[in-house]
Amino acid sequence: MAFLETCVFGVIFIGFFGIIFKKNLIMKILAMDVMSTGVIAYYILVAARGGIFAPIVDDAQETVAYADPVPQAVILTAIVIGFSIQALMLVGVMKLSRDNPTLETREIEKIHTP
């Protein structure tokens, strides 16, 4: 479990430092996606427990421990929101690329600085 947590935190930090240190806008968006994937993986890692069943009620089974469906709904919502944010940012980069010959952040700042 500690090894998985280490790997998940490694993915989160790789995405975080990619957002900070990458100069290209597309690479920044990809780094944000990597960080988002790491956060979702960490949430799944924390919510995973053994000995619990899917919350499907069956009359034949005796009383058993059911998994909470709220984390699953939260994860699905996070995936959809992350995908839509990524698509919106890529559209913004496409519009920005029409006016600028490069997607490097420093060059774009130099061009638009009076």
Predicted confidence (pLDDT) per residue in 7-45, tens digit: 999 999 999 999 999 999 999 999 999 999 999 999 888
Q: Please state the rounded mean pLDDT for residues 103-113.
A: 88
Q: How far apart are CA 62 and CA 44, in angstroms?
A: 27
Residue corresponding to tokens 């992350």 = 82
Q: Please state the rounded mean pLDDT for residues 76-97.
A: 94
**Interior angle at CA 8, CA 47 and CA 51, nearest 5:** 25
Structure tokens at 93: 């980069």
Q: How far apart are CA 80 and CA 10, in angstroms?
A: 23
The answer to whether residues 97 and 103 touch, using CB atoms and an 8 Å cutoff, is yes
